[in-house]
Amino acid sequence: MKIFNRVYAFLVFLFLYAPILVLLLFSFNSTTSTSVFAGFSMKWYNLILHDATAITALRNTVLLAVCSAFLATVIGTAASVGIEKFRKGAFRTAVMSTTNIPMTNPEIVTGVSMMLLFVFIGKSILHTDSVLGFGTMLIAHVTFNLPYVILTVLPKLRQTDKNLAEAAQDLGCRPVSAFFKVVLPAIMPGVLTGLIMSFTLSLDDFIISYFTSGPGFQTLPIVIFSMTKKRVKPDMYALSAIIFVSILVLLIIYNIVQQKSEEKTNKKM
């Protein structure tokens, strides 16, 4: 049974990470071949640094991911605090069900519906045909990131002692100060998890971005998709490898920090 479990786990990890390993390998290929590794070379990494289109798209992607992750984390944390104060009942169930719609709804439905909404607002209220751009993409990304932030912050709020904020207020803190000094540090692991998850989801999104983007602001997934109509060059492998390694390092650092925080908490207890 143990051998079967190990083989099963190995196959799962193989199917998950084999494509990434192939991408990393061929990003160092000396030729444009995607099937034969002719030799080790760094030329694709050097070439991508001088590709203005790719660098602009990467900058747009990171800017959008950072802004949407920050806004989604702030709004989602505030929403979680409000939802936690609701009494259990039909109203709370309805709020949670509505909150989870962007997460359970197919992305193509969300993308098309938001595009129609933005175009309608642009033509009917703002009287412009060029409404799609960074602003519409930011609103769309915050919308589909919110449920993930709420679902990571709510469990931490439930684990937090309800009397902490009241004790801080008894010692002279105002309600807002009590939240930032007592409650927020207690739920910070959930907040950081929601922030990182929002950042990675926004960085990776294509479908919703495709329908809500304008000609003046395009992210890297959209630019790569436009290249597939011809051929994706190996320099895109190099750029994808850089993004993957950056996200991997970010997750490793976060896990180390979280583990040290949990160890300190256990020692205090």
- The pLDDT confidence band at residue 139, using thresholds 50, 70 and 90, is very high
Q: Is residue 119 part of a domain?
A: yes
Phi, psi for 24 (deg, rounded to 5): -60, -40
The contacts of residue 169 (CB under 8 Å, 6+ apart) are 175, 178
| 60 and 6 fall within a common domain | no
Domain at 69, CATH number: 1.10.3720.10
Q: What is the pLDDT of residue 140?
A: 92
Give the range of the structural domain holding residue 12, as residue numbers without chain letter. 1-41
Q: Is residue 256 part of a domain?
A: no
Q: Is residue 97 part of a domain?
A: yes
| 34 and 93 fall within a common domain | no
pLDDT digits (tens, 9 = 90+) for 220-230: 888 878 777 66
pLDDT digits (tens, 9 = 90+) for 255-264: 776 777 667 6
| 4 and 73 fall within a common domain | no
| 102 and 179 fall within a common domain | yes
| 13 and 141 fall within a common domain | no
pLDDT at 175 exceeding the cut of 90: no
Percent of the chain past pLDDT 90, that is, above it, reads 10
| 108 and 219 fall within a common domain | yes
Q: What is the CA radius of gyration of the chain?
A: 23
pLDDT at 148 exceeding the cut of 80: yes
| 215 and 85 fall within a common domain | yes
Q: Is residue 267 part of a domain?
A: no
Work out the average pLDDT over 116-127: 85
pLDDT at 268 exceeding the cut of 70: no
| 150 and 101 fall within a common domain | yes
Of 116 and 262, the one with more pLDDT: 116
Work out the average pLDDT over 69-84: 90
| 213 and 107 fall within a common domain | yes
Q: What is the pLDDT of residue 269?
A: 56
| 109 and 192 fall within a common domain | yes
| 37 and 164 fall within a common domain | no
Q: Is residue 266 part of a domain?
A: no
Q: Is residue 162 part of a domain?
A: yes
Residue-averaged pLDDT of the chain: 82
Q: Is residue 224 part of a domain?
A: yes
Q: Report the domain count for the chain.
A: 2
Other residues' Cβ atoms within 10 Å of the Cβ of residue 90: 7
Of 229 and 104, the one with more pLDDT: 104
pLDDT digits (tens, 9 = 90+) for 150-173: 988 888 888 877 777 777 777 777
